[in-house]
Amino acid sequence: MTLPTILVFDSGLGGLTVLRETVKARPDAHFVYVADDAFFPYGGHSEAALIERTVPLMGKLIEEHRPDLIVIACNTASTLVLAELRAQYTVPFVGTVPAIKPACAASLTKRVSVLGTQATVSREYTRALIRQFANGSEVTLVGSARLASLAEAELNGDTVTDAAITAEIVPCFVETGGARTDTVVLACTHYPLLLDRLTRLSPWPVTFVDPAPAIARRVLDLLGPATGRPQPLPSAFRLTSGRAPSERLSGALAQFGLGELRKAGNSPRIDTPELSA
């Protein structure tokens, strides 16, 4: 049996949290991780610009890597571009959406916050999920302008202060009618990179809901369970800018399932028309 190639795609490094769970589910697969750092952050671009950027870029990646399945490990890209990708390409895609349904179902206080990029929380798609799945919960939408970039900076070895993180998460903690927020949906795959610090800096204990395990389960639904092969194939890590990963990032990649790397830090820049113009 031919082992599958799974391509995990994100605007930056947040998708590594999804990759980690997917590797646990299919440790026998060949994984390709692509971070579109040349266009990061996606939340700063219009829907039209993201489609113009992402659709041809995905075509190049499919042609080069021949994946059996692609995980779009980015809430913004999933809500804005996924339908167009599925219309253009026959490869199965697994998207990432805010885990509002399980969060509202699990909340005991019925006070839930959704922490995402400004683009994600402003989308009608997100609001529709709340209308459909709030289950009687009061849901607070919190759009963070900086948290994804702070997560990237920390993973690359830069100093990120507690104050900077606290300023981004404080609006999630709401107390109304004598009930406090008890559940926070992490609606950006970058945010679990900071989970230890989010937990420590929270003004009171909450459950942070990470979408990565659900994504990994969906990959298993589509590809089936692991074959039992004892050693995974070498992995590939690519930055679309072509730059080499920082020393700190290179050392951290193994923690996310990218153990034996091929071409790490040596990939050419991946140009699409708007970048090469």
| CA–CA distance, 29 with 27 (Å, rounded to integer) | 6
Give the end of a domain, one of 161, 188, 210: 210
Same structural domain for residues 158 and 240? Answer: no
**Model pLDDT, residue 270:** 59
Same structural domain for residues 18 and 90? Answer: yes
**Model pLDDT, residue 179:** 96
Domain of 17: which CATH number? Answer: 3.40.50.1860
Residue 104 among the catalytic residues = no
Residue 61's domain spans which residues? 5-96+213-276
Q: Indicate the angle between helix axes 147-155 and 162-169, nearest 10 degrees.
A: 150
Same structural domain for residues 167 and 224? Answer: no
Same structural domain for residues 16 and 66? Answer: yes
**Model pLDDT, residue 2:** 79
pTM equals 0.88
What would the pLDDT profile of 5-15 be if each residue is shown by its tens digit?
A: 999 999 999 99
**Model pLDDT, residue 123:** 87
Same structural domain for residues 129 and 190? Answer: yes
Q: Which residues of 187-201 are buried (b: 16+ CB within 10 A; e: fewer)?
A: bbbbbbbbeebbeee
Residue 172 among the catalytic residues = no
| CA–CA distance, 253 with 19 (Å, rounded to integer) | 10
Give the end of a domain, one of 210, 235, 264: 210
User: Number of folded domains in the chain?
Assistant: 2
Same structural domain for residues 53 and 188? Answer: no
| Strand runs labelled E in 165-249 | 175-176, 179-180, 183-187, 207-209, 235-239
Same structural domain for residues 105 and 206? Answer: yes
Same structural domain for residues 39 and 82? Answer: yes
Same structural domain for residues 84 and 12? Answer: yes
| CA–CA distance, 122 with 138 (Å, rounded to integer) | 17
Give the end of a domain, one of 183, 210, 237: 210
Helix (H, G, I), strand (E, B) or coil at 43: helix
**Model pLDDT, residue 269:** 60
Residue of 34, 70, 74, 81 marked active site? 74
Give ∠ CA 212-152-9 in degrees, rounded to 5: 45
Same structural domain for residues 231 and 205? Answer: no
Residue of 77, 82, 188, 258 marked active site? 188
What would the pLDDT profile of 64-109 be if each residue is shown by its tens digit?
A: 999 999 999 999 899 889 999 999 999 999 999 999 999 999 999 9
Same structural domain for residues 179 and 263? Answer: no
**Model pLDDT, residue 273:** 45
Residues in the chain, pLDDT under 70: 1, 229-233, 259-277
| CA–CA distance, 170 with 77 (Å, rounded to integer) | 26
Same structural domain for residues 165 and 235? Answer: no
